[in-house]
């Protein structure tokens, strides 16, 4: 039996014959895993720089030239992706930096703004941005429209400027307040007027020394008709126009039993000039300046001068 078995083994082909000292099953498995990519696949390409194959750039085997070309294409793609990400991030940063998610209100020239005023201005800003949410981006803000909106509710506002805040999404709203040049006390409350003739009640600066004296004799219940915005605006324009003519108004008086006239006393001058709120401010101030020069040249002392009628002047 043993002899027959040996003979049969000798008759087998060499590739099927067991060889003593061959690889163990574990070594065979490792070699199989190592060279598994060679099974059932067709290798394309060439590692030679002198041999060109079809689809060389997408082949498994690449020549040094094809490998360098592949790396160049990969770098270009990565650079493009980086550029897109960087550009998107920059645009998002710009949008966030321009966004007015919250606002800090302050008045130029005022160190500490009262809390009530801060809340009032913030409420008006919220109303504006609520009606125009796109303008929360500062580069889309219509500042003249915002100024008009605030002036409608707060006449003491002269101008508004929106600046970047200390943090992203925050803005600093800087309000330029009006400077009063005259005041009028009514029922214990002061009303102010600036050089443009705008009347307001909230004054953040020094109280003006020029006060309107009310000698009209009208009862306090009807004083609102006297202290109208038109009247106070007229007084403010008279004062500013007189300053441009080199004249300084020292006193403003409402004559007795009238609500449409005002008496102006100039500093260092004797007569009181009567003005009418129904006539142009500029014309009456020019007439006052000419008559003032005439009286000083002629050395005439007058108690009052009436410039209410165009082209004529009366003095006594």
DSSP code string of the chain: -HHHHHHHHHHS-TTTS--TT---HHHHHHHHHHTGGGTT----B-S-TT---TTGGGSSB--HHHHHHHHHHHHHHHHHHHHHHHHHHHHHHHHHHHB-SEEEEEETT-SS--HHHHHHHHHHHHHHHHH-GGGGBGGG--HHHHHHHHHHH-TTEEEEEEEE-SSTTEEEEEEEEPPPSEEEEETTEEEEE-TT--EES---SPPPS-BEEE-S---GGGHHHHT-HHHHHHHHHHHHHHHHTT--EEEEEEPTT-SSEEEEEETT--PEEEEETTS-HHHHHHHHHHHHHHHHHTT---SEEE--STT--EE-
- Determine the pLDDT at residue 39: 53
Distance CA 288, CA 243 (A): 12
Cβ–Cβ under 8 Å, residues 150 and 175: yes
Name the stretches of the chain with pLDDT < 50. Answer: 1, 6-8, 16, 18-19, 43, 222-223, 225
Class of domain 182-315: alpha beta
| Close Cβ partners of 153 (under 8 Å, ≥ 6 residues apart) | 124
Q: Tokens 């009052």 belong to which residue?
A: 304
- Global pTM? 0.65
Q: What is the distance between the alpha carbons of residues 155 and 132, in angstroms, rounded to a whole number?
A: 22
Determine the pLDDT at residue 139. 87
Give the bridge partners for 79, in sequence order: none
- Alpha-carbon dihedral of residues 143, 149, 154, 158, nearest 10 degrees? 30
Map out the domains of the chain as residue ranges. Answer: 63-97, 99-177, 182-315
CA distance 138 to 95: 9
């Amino acid at each position: 039996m043993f002899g027959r078995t040996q003979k049969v083994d000798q008759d087998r082909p060499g590739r099927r014959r067991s060889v003593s000292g061959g690889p163990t099953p574990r070594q065979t498995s490792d070699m199989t895993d190592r060279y598994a990519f060679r099974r059932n696949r067709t290798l394309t390409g060439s590692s030679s720089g002198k041999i060109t194959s079809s689809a060389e750039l997408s082949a498994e085997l690449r020549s040094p030239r094809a490998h360098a070309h592949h790396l160049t294409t990969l770098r270009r793609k990565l650079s493009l992706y980086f550029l897109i990400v960087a550009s998107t991030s920059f645009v998002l940063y710009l949008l966030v930096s321009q966004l007015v998610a919250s606002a800090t209100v302050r008045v130029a020239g005022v160190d500490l703004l009262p809390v009530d005023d801060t809340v009032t201005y913030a409420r008006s800003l919220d109303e504006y941005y609520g009606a125009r949410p796109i303008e929360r981006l500062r580069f889309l803000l219509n500042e003249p429209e915002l100024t008009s909106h605030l002036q409608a509710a707060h006449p003491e506002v002269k101008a508004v400027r929106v600046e970047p805040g200390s943090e992203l999404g925050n803005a600093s709203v800087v309000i330029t307040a009006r400077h009063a040049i005259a005041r009028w006390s009514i029922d214990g409350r002061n009303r102010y007027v600036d050089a443009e003739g705008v009347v307001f009640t909230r004054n953040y600066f020094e109280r003006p020394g020029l006060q309107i004296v009310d000698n009209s004799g009208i009862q306090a219940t009807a004083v609102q008709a006297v202290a109208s915005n038109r009247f106070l605006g007229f007084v403010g324009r008279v004062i500013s126009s007189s300053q441009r003519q080199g004249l300084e108004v020292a006193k403003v008086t409402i004559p007795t039993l009238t609500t449409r006239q005002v008496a102006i006393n100039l500093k260092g001058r004797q007569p009181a000039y009567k003005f009418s709120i129904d006539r142009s401010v500029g014309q009456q101030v020019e007439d006052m300046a000419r008559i003032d020069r005439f009286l000083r040249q002629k050395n005439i002392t007058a108690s009052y001068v009436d410039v209410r009628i165009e082209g004529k002047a009366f003095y006594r």
